[in-house]
Amino acid sequence: MTSAPADAGPYTASRRAWPAFAACLVAVFMQMVDTTIVNIALPDLTTDLGASSADQLLVLTVYTLAFACTLMTASRIGERLGRRRVFIIALAGFTVASLLCGTAAGPGELIAARGLQGACAAFASAQTIAIISAIFPRARHGLVFGVYGATAGVAAMLGPVLGGALVGLDAFGLGWRTIFLVNLPFGVIACVIAARAMPPVVGTVRESLDAVGVALSTIGLFLLIYPLSTGREKGWPGWLLAMLAISIAVLVAFVLHERALLRRGGAPLLRLDLFAERSFAVGAVLSLLFFSVFTAFFFTVSITTQFGLGYSPLHTGLITLPFALGAAVGSLLSPMVVTRIGPRTLTVGMVVFAASVAWMAIVIDPARHDIAIASLIAPLVLGGLGTGVFVAPLQAVILSGTTSRTVGSASGTIPTVQQIGGSVGLAIIGIVFFALVGSASSAGASAGADDLRVRLGDTAVPAVAQPIVVSRFSDCVSRQLSSPRPEVSPPGCSAQGSDADAGPQAAIVREAQPALRPAARVAAARAFLEAFSTIMWIICATAAAVAAISLAVPRARAIVPVGTPASVG
C-alpha cells in the first residue's frame, strides 16, 4: 500500500480504517496534551526536584525543541521504513519516555526524558497525516482531517485542566508525576490498536535521507532555542549570545543547502517549493505566530496564578476550563463557518481570540492583588471559541495545495513550524514576562509593605520593631522579584536556617510570620498581575497580526482535503 493516491487501494474501504484512525487520534491527543499539561505542575516539580526557573523553561521547551528538530527527519524516515512501523515504534518510545519523566529523580533527568518524549512524539506525529491520507478515500478527507485538527487543538487546551485535576487528586501520593504516568495505559492501547488495524503505509518513492539537512536543521534550532530558554537566568554570557549568532548562520546555511539540493533534483529534507504555493506559505506563517502566542498564553496563565497568586494546580486548571469548553464548541462550529466564508474563517477566529485577550487584559486589575474569576469566564469562553474556529480548519488550509508527491514533506514541515513557533514564542515570552515582573518589583514591594504595616498591628511584634520589619521585608521582596530566580529567597531573607536561628531577631521573625506570609502574597500578586496584563496586550497584538496575515489566503482557494489537486478560482 502506498501513500498516494489515497483512494486507490482496497484498504480504504475497510472498516479497519476507523480503528487505525482512532490510534492516530489517541497519539495526537497525548502529544498535544503534553505540550501544555506540564505548565500546571511547574510549582510542584520545582519544589520536589529543586528546579531553577531555567530548568522550568527547559522542561517546557526541550519537548517542543526535540519535537521541532526531529519532525522533518521523522517524516523522511517514515517514507523509507514504512509509516506504520515507525508510528508504532515511536508511540511505544513515547510511552516509555513518559514513564521516565514520571520517575525522574532530578531536573536533569526530567529534562532529558522530556527531550526523548518530544523526539518520539515527533516520529509518531510525522506519520499520521500520510497514514490518514492513505487509509481514507479523498471524499472523507475533509471530515477526518477536521476531526484530527480539532482533536489536536482541544487536547492542547485541555492540558492545563487535566494537569490540574491529576495533580490535585494526587493519586497514590504521586503528585505531579501522574501527568506523565497517565500516558502509559493510553499509549499501550494505541500501540495494540495500531498493530492490529493499521496498514503498512509506505511512500511511492523512497528518497534518500538528507543527512546534511538533518544536521544543519537540528544544530541550528538547538543553538537558537537553548540560549533563549536559559539566557535570562544565566545573565546572558557571551557564549550564549554567540550561540544565537551562530544559529542564524547555521539556519541560513540549511536553507541554502536545501535550495541547492532541490535544484539538483535531489530529495531535500525541507521542500522549499512548497512555499511557492501561497496557501502553504501563508499558512506556515500563521502556524508559526499562532502557536507562539498559544503556548505563551497558557504558560503565563499558569505562572501568574500559581507563583503570583498562590493558586493550587487544580484551581489553575479549572480557570482554563471555560477556554477548553469554548474551544470544543468552536471546533464543532468551524465546518459550518468554513462552508459559508471559506478561508476567512481563520480571520474570524483570530479576531475573536484577540478581542477575548484584550477583554482579559482590561478586567485584570493588579491593584486588587487577585483575579475576579467570574469576570474572566466570558472572555475565556470567547477566546476558546475563537481558537477552535481558527485551529480546526488550519491544517486543511495549509495542505490545500499539496499533492501526493509533496504531502510527505508537508506532513513533517507543518508540525515542525508549529513546534518551532511554540518553542521560540515560549522562550521569548518567558524572557519578557520575568523582565516585566522585575520591573514591577518596586510596586509589588510597596503594596506588600502597606499590607504588612496593617497586619503587624495584630501581632506581638513590638511597635518599635515594626518599621524595621517592614523595611527588611520591602528590600527582600524587591530583590527577590527582580532577581533571575524570583522563586528563591535572596541571601539573608529566608526565615529558615541561619537567617533566623536564635536571639531577639529570630523571635521577631517568628512573631511576624502570620503577617509576613499574606503580605508577601500581596507583593507577588501585584508584580505578577502587572506583568500578566502587559503580556496579554502583547498576545492580543500578535493575534491581531495573525488575523491580518490570514487575509492573504486566497479567497478563491477552497479548503480542500490532503491529496486533492489544488483548485483554482
Reported residue count of the chain is 569
pLDDT for res 7: 34
Q: Is 369 exposed, middle or buried (0-12, 13-18, 19+ CB in 10 A)?
A: buried
CB environment 15-33: b (16+ within 10 A), e (fewer): eebeebbebbbbbbbbbbb
Say how far apart CA 548 and CA 45 lie, in whole Å. 39
pLDDT tens for 166-221 read 888 888 888 889 999 999 999 999 999 999 888 887 655 566 778 898 889 889 98
pLDDT tens for 523-533 read 999 999 999 99
**CB 14: neighbour CB atoms within 10 A?**
14
Query: Residue 7: CB partners within 8 Å, gap ≥ 6?
Result: 136, 137, 138, 139
pLDDT tens for 256-303 read 999 999 888 887 877 888 888 888 888 889 988 998 888 888 888 888
**Rg, C-alpha atoms of the chain:** 25
φ, ψ (nearest 5 deg) of residue 2: -110, 165
How far apart, in Å, do the first and last CA atoms of the chain sit?
A: 33
pLDDT tens for 428-482 read 888 899 889 999 999 999 999 998 898 888 888 888 888 888 898 888 888 888 8
Say how far apart CA 34 and CA 116 lie, in whole Å. 13
pLDDT for res 89: 96
Per-residue cell: 348 = 474570524
Nearest 5 degrees, angle CA 390-CA 115-CA 160?
Answer: 45
pLDDT for res 383: 93
Query: Residue 233: CB partners within 8 Å, gap ≥ 6?
Result: 52, 53, 54, 484, 485
pTM: 0.78
**CB 278: neighbour CB atoms within 10 A?**
14
Q: Is 249 exposed, middle or buried (0-12, 13-18, 19+ CB in 10 A)?
A: exposed
Query: Residue 158: CB partners within 8 Å, gap ≥ 6?
Result: 33, 324
pLDDT for res 255: 92
